[in-house]
């Protein structure tokens, strides 16, 4: 039996052979494009996010309520039986998620990263 413990260099070489080179941490894994600045209730911007793996998320939305800022993933209008957009008891339009994060921690970390990218591109995007 071989008792050789691989070195970090050998491990990285094996990873690169199996998975390809590691992404350059200096390059962002996300890019924001097609930004439309909007001021409607909490909504401040609508944009597309391009991920390094080739996935594109269209119509992500940046919101602000007081000091709190967040980004929401795309959503689809909820339709009623008559194929009209459903509303709640207060008349607010209803939406259903198209995709979602599996934990609040991941959602919040992603949202914070996107907010940083948005503000780097448009420093006043979330201003009141």
The pLDDT tens digits for 11-53 are: 788 877 887 766 554 456 889 999 999 999 999 999 999 988 8
CA distance 109 to 71: 10
Per the CB < 8 A criterion, the answer to whether 63 and 43 are in contact is yes
Q: Decide: 38 and 46 in contact? Cβ < 8 Å.
A: yes
CB 86, CB 40: distance < 8 Å: no
Average pLDDT over residues 39-68: 93
Amino acid 49: pLDDT: 94
Matching residue, tokens 């709640």:
88
| Domain 28-121, second-level architecture | 2-Layer Sandwich (3.30)
Q: What is the mean pLDDT of residues 76-92?
A: 94
Q: How close are the terminal C-alpha atoms of the chain, in Å?
A: 67
pLDDT, position 27: 58
Q: What SS3 class is residue 36?
A: strand
Lowest mean pLDDT among 5-14, 15-24, 63-72: 15-24
């Amino acid at each position: 039996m071989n008792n050789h413990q691989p070195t970090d260099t050998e491990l990285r070489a094996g990873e690169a052979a199996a998975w390809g080179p590691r992404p350059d941490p200096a390059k962002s894994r996300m890019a924001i494009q097609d930004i439309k600045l909007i001021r409607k209730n909490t909504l401040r911007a609508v944009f597309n996010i391009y991920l390094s793996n080739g996935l594109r998320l269209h119509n992500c939305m940046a919101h602000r309520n007081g000091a709190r800022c967040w980004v929401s993933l795309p959503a689809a209008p909820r339709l009623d039986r008559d194929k009209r957009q459903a509303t709640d008891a207060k008349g607010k339009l209803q939406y259903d998620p198209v995709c979602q994060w599996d934990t609040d921690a991941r959602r919040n970390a992603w949202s914070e990263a996107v907010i940083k990218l948005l503000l780097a591109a448009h420093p006043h995007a979330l201003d009141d």
